[in-house]
Amino acid sequence: MSQTIKLKKGFDINLAGKAQNNVTDAGNPETFAIKPTDFPSITRPKLLVEEGDKVKAGTPVLFDKMTDKVLHCSPVSGEIVEVKRGAKRKLLEVKILADKEIEYHTHKTYSSSDLKSLSKEDAVEQMLKGGVWPNLVQRPYGIISNADETPKAIFVSCFDSHPLAPDYNITLKGQDEAFKAGLEVLKKLTDGKVHLNVSADRDNPAMFTQAEGVQINKISGKHPAGNVGVQIHHIDPIGKGDLIWTINPYGIAQIGKLFLEGKYDASKIVALTGSEVKNPQYYKSFTGSSIKNMVKDNIKSDHVRYISGNVLTGERIDADGYISFYDNQVTVIPEGDFEELLGWIKPTTSKLSFHRAIGLLSFMNPNKEYVLNTNTNGEERAFVMTGEFEKVLPMDILPTYLFKAIMAEDFDEMEALGIFEIIEEDVALCEFIDVSKHDLQGILRKGINLMING
C-alpha cells in the first residue's frame, strides 16, 4: 500500500534567511487584494461587486466566465476601494479596505460526525460557494479543478522542498481538527485514493502521518521531491485522459473550517524569509494580505525585491504588494541590477551553481547559506548544453525536447513528450540551472495554454 520513494535527482538551493520558529502578529494591514492573475486558468474574470460595495469575509467577489460555478471570495470584511485594471482592461486586482473586526458570511456548519454522512453534492456545493474550491488544482495543466468531473485520485504533498519553504509543523499548528475534517470532505470527491505524501527526511506533523482512510507515501530526496507533480509521476502517473486533483494541506484545513465553522477563513501563517529580512520569522496573516506591516522596519537595505512565494516559482510584488492565493511565504532578496567586472570568468564562492564550470566553487561548500541576488548572471542564448535539465527533474521526461516541441507549437509532440505531467514548478529548477537563461516556466505555460485552447 504505502510506498517509499527515493529520488536521487534534484538540487537544493540553500539560501540565507530561513524563518525562525516563532509566530508573530504584525497587526492586520489595512488593504487586501484578490488577484485573478494568481490563477492561470482565469481568462475572463467577471466582477460581482463594484467600487464602494461592502463585503464580508466569504462574500463572492468574482468568478471566471469559463468556470462560473467557482466563486472567488473576499478574505476579509470591508469595502471595495479599487478595481485595478491593466492593458486592454485586464483585471489585475480588486482591493479591499478591511474592517477592524472581521465579519463572516456564514454557511451551514457540520460536526465531525455529521461530515461522514454529508453527500458529495452538498459538499461540492458548499465548497464552490464558500471560496475554498480554488484550492483544488487539477493535473494535467495546473488549473482550478472542474467540479463536474471526478478525478482518479487526489494527491497532497505534505512538505514543501522549495528554498526557505515554511514548515507545516508551524503553519498548521493547532489545526488538526480542521485538517481532519477537510480530509473527510476530500475523500468524497474521488472514487480512487487520497494520497498524502510525507517527507522521509524530516519531522512530519502527526495530522499527516496519523490520517485515516488515505494512502500515506514517504518521499525522500532533494528538491523537487516536495512537488506534487513529481510524486504523482512516481506513484500514479498521468496518461492521456487521466485526471488527478491536487491540493496543499493549508487548503485542506481551510475546507475543514468551512464545514466545521461555516466560514471562509483566509487567515494563514506566512513565513517571511530571505537574506534581506532583519528578523525572518512567521507572521499571522491572510490570503491576499498586504505585506506592508510585516516588512516595515524589517528590511536590511532599500534596494530589494519582494517576492510572494519562493525564489523559484514566486512572483515579484511591491513593498506594499499582496500575498498570492497559493502562497504562504514571502521572500526578500537583493536586487542584482548592476554590472560586475569580468563577472563571467572570475572565480567565485558567493554565487551558487549547480554546475562546476571553471571558477564556480560553490559545489565545494554544499552546506553554505547563500545570499543570491536577482541578476541573471548572463544573457539569453540558444540551447547549447544537453543532459543537464534531466539531472534536476526526477521524472522520465526529456525536458529540452518538450520545450522545443512547445516552441514549435507541435501539439502531438507536446502530448507525446509528457506535457500532461508537469506544470511550471516542476521545471523551475531547470530554469534556474539553465546556462542559456531561458524563461522555461513561461514557455511551459504557453504550451499548456495551447493544449487547453487547442
Partner 1 sequence: MNPIQKFFDKIEPLFEKGGKYEKYYTLYEGHRTILFRPKLVTGKKGVQVRDGNDLKRMMITVVLAMVPCLLFGIWNVGHQHFLAIGETASFMSKIGVGALQVLPIVIVSYAAGLSTEFTICVIRNHPVNEGYLVTGMLIALIMPPNIPLWQVALATVFAVIIAKEVFGGTGMNILNVALTARAFLYFAYPTDISGSVWTYIGDATPIDSYSGATALAVAYDTAVNGSGTVLSAFANYWAEGMYTFKNMFLGAIPGSVGETSTLCALVGALILIITRVGSWKIIFSVFAGAWLMGLGFNALGLNAFMEMPAHYHLVIGGLAFGAVFMATDPVSASHTETGKWIYGFLIGILTVVIRVVNPAYPEGIMLAILLMNVFAPLIDHYVVQSNKNRRLKRATV
Binding to partner 1 in span 341-360, by CB under 8 A? 341-345, 348, 351-360
Query: Do 304 and 311 form a contact (C-beta atoms < 8 A)?
Result: no
Q: Is 364 in the site for partner 1 (CB under 8 A)?
A: no
Rg over alpha carbons for the chain, rounded to the nearest Å, is 22
Q: How far is the C-alpha of 244 from the C-alpha of 151, rounded, in Å? A: 5
Q: Is 301 in the site for partner 1 (CB under 8 A)?
A: no
Per CB under 8 A, the segment of 51-59, 137-145, 190-198, 381-389 that binds partner 1 is 381-389
Pure H helices in 102-210: 112-117, 120-130, 168-171, 176-187, 206-209
How many residues bind partner 1 (CB under 8 A)? The answer is 76
Give whichever of 29 and 309 is closer to partner 1, judged by the CB atom. Answer: 309
Give whichever of 84 and 381 is closer to partner 1, judged by the CB atom. Answer: 381
Residue 381, all three cell numbers: 542564448
Q: Is 149 in the site for partner 1 (CB under 8 A)?
A: no
Q: Is 440 in the site for partner 1 (CB under 8 A)?
A: yes
Q: Is 50 in the site for partner 1 (CB under 8 A)?
A: no
Q: Is 395 in the site for partner 1 (CB under 8 A)?
A: no
Residue 352, all three cell numbers: 551558487
Map the footprint of partner 1 across residues 309-348, applying CB under 8 A: 311-316, 331, 333, 335-345, 348
Q: CA 280 → CA 27, 222, 299, 408, distances in Å?
A: 16, 23, 10, 44
DSSP category for residue 307: E
| Least distance to partner 1, CB of residue 412, Å | 10
| Least distance to partner 1, CB of residue 279, Å | 21
Q: Is 417 in the site for partner 1 (CB under 8 A)?
A: yes
Give whichever of 208 and 245 is closer to partner 1, judged by the CB atom. Answer: 245
Per CB under 8 A, the segment of 84-92, 118-126, 248-256, 390-398 that binds partner 1 is 390-398
Query: Do 211 and 253 form a contact (C-beta atoms < 8 A)?
Result: no
Give whichever of 252 and 402 is closer to partner 1, judged by the CB atom. Answer: 402
Q: Is 408 in the site for partner 1 (CB under 8 A)?
A: no
Give whichever of 282 and 420 is closer to partner 1, judged by the CB atom. Answer: 420
Q: Is 374 in the site for partner 1 (CB under 8 A)?
A: yes
Query: Do 399 and 419 form a contact (C-beta atoms < 8 A)?
Result: no
Map the footprint of partner 1 across residues 85-144, applying CB under 8 A: none
How is the beta sheet containing 315-317 ordered, strand by strand? Answer: 23-24, 281-286, 267-273, 329-334, 304-308, 315-317
Give whichever of 135 and 373 is closer to partner 1, judged by the CB atom. Answer: 373
Q: Is 267 in the site for partner 1 (CB under 8 A)?
A: no
Per CB under 8 A, the segment of 46-54, 101-109, 246-254, 307-315 that binds partner 1 is 307-315
Map the footprint of partner 1 across residues 187-246, applying CB under 8 A: 237, 239-242
| Least distance to partner 1, CB of residue 307, Å | 5
Q: Which of 383, 411, 450, 452 binds partner 1 (CB under 8 A)?
A: 383
Q: How many CA atoms lie within 13 A of 219 on its CB side?
A: 32
Query: Do 412 and 396 form a contact (C-beta atoms < 8 A)?
Result: no
Q: Is 441 in the site for partner 1 (CB under 8 A)?
A: yes
Q: How far is the C-alpha of 168 from the C-alpha of 257, rounded, in Å? A: 17
| Least distance to partner 1, CB of residue 324, Å | 11
Give whichever of 81 and 435 is closer to partner 1, judged by the CB atom. Answer: 435
How distant is the alpha carbon of residue 218 from its chain centre? 21
Q: How many CA atoms lie within 13 A of 427 on its CB side?
A: 24
Q: List 98's β-bridge partners, or say none.
A: 78
Q: Is 378 in the site for partner 1 (CB under 8 A)?
A: yes
Phi-psi region of 377 (alpha: psi -120 to 50; beta: other; left: phi over 0): left
Query: Do 17 and 280 form a contact (C-beta atoms < 8 A)?
Result: yes
| Least distance to partner 1, CB of residue 262, Å | 36
Residues 355-384: b if buried by 16+ CB within 10 A, e if exposed: eeeeebebeeeeeeebbbbeeebeeeeeee
How distant is the alpha carbon of residue 330 from its chain centre? 12
| Least distance to partner 1, CB of residue 330, Å | 12
